Structure 1
């Protein structure tokens, strides 16, 4: 399939922040591919997007399964031949409220498998398709809790929030952004980390003060950067975030 429209893939795009990112990109006449482990939930999300006349497609994929990611890439390659935007949105936080000294190692491994290794594997698999784009964009959805600077600042609004697995996984994801930005520095591809802020999503039982629409805006902005836009950075709605 050949098309002049941009193609964007959003991991974990069937709900929450990922769904809102897909919706906002779709409103810009971008074809959106949302990944979901659960086909039924994914199809429900597609139906909701199509009600808004958004060109949306489901890609069944589990970011913790390399075979699943590979099959997803083959599917996208066969149908579209190219990928313009990759949003690594899929993420989990399952150690909130547990002291660092008491977090089971298995929980930390699960967190890293999704938040870090899943993002790396997805980038590696889809990079050949992104290189076929004239202006490839990669956005790693991180968190202010992944900022070491903010984690060590007693004046940071969320200074007391120190879930070991989640915070360190987002710090690691930021490092992933920097490493790929260096490798891709001589290409048209730009990769950045996004801090959506504390948004009301399933990740926090919808307790965040920011709406999903507000949280999605920075990822959408980074996904649609102009040719002279930044790469290898960490941003929120107010600009650069300290690492």
Structure 2
């Protein structure tokens, strides 16, 4: 039976690369985006029976509609990959950061991810080996030198890592992990990044299909556990 895998924010970059990798491995991939037309176009580019769904993680009604569509079509969800994120502040200093920018960033990167996990938990419960992969960032690590780059984004990824820990405790039958794709050449990462989207997506694909189900509540990069 093909694993049913939902990837949010998967019309480009790391999410799209992961969709291609997972579809090539025989998974039933669902590409999600708040722009339904872009999601459908991305699914057509991946091919291999890939489907799409309109899903705005900041909107409860949109999330609930996506849950219903996937339940009606597949009856379960095996893997939820939370890839949707925004980066609004780039090189702005913390002392100049507007609180509303931080709130908007947290609303998408953390609250939106929580909203999706809560809504899809019943469908994950119908899987024999459910998994959640939260796409985080090394920018959210506390174990390292302090940095001043993109404070709102960094704070949100640190919070996302704690959400991973909380989900691990709340969902004892689900394999929940955060992952760091590294700095990749995407719309968010820019052209100077050293990694390709495919290299960044490799750990997501591994966590979705190959990693042992006993690997829970960890932060993973290049298929290895790294410090929080």
What is the TM-score of this pair, normalised by structure 2? 0.96
**Given that residues 181 and 190 in structure 1 are in contact (C-alpha distance below 8 angstroms), is that contact kept between their aligned partners in structure 2?**
yes
SS of the residue corresponding to residue 133 of structure 1 reads coil
5+ residue gaps in structure 1? 153-159
Of 63, 66, 73, 2:67 maps to: 73
- Measure how far apart 1:43 and its partner are: 2.0
Between stretches 34-43 and 140-149, larger displacement belongs to: 34-43
| 1:161 CA displacement | 4.8
Structure-2 change in CA distance of 1:151 and 1:34 (3 Å): farther
1:200, 1:229 → 2: CA distance?
32
Runs of 4+ in 1 over 3 A off after TM superposition: 225-229
**Which residue of structure 2 aligns with residue 34 of structure 1?**
31
Report what 1:23 is aligned to: 20
Tell me the SS of whatever aligns to 2:143.
helix
Tell me how many residue pairs correspond in the alignment: 228
1:174-213 → structure 2 map (5 Å cutoff) = 174-185=161-172, 187=173, 189-213=174-198
- 1:150 equivalenced with 2:144 (yes/no): yes
Q: CA deviation at 1:241?
A: 1.4
Cα distance in 2 between the residues matched to 1:61 and 1:238:
28
TM-score (norm 1): 0.90
The CA RMSD measured in Å over matched residues stands at 1.3
Provide the rounded CA distance (Å) in 2 between the counterparts of 1:226 and 1:103. Answer: 38
Matching residue within 85, 89, 99 for 2:93: 99
Deviations 1:76-114 (CA, angstroms, capped at 9, x unpaired): 111111000000000111101100011111111111111
Indicate the residue corresponding to 1:121 in structure 2: 115
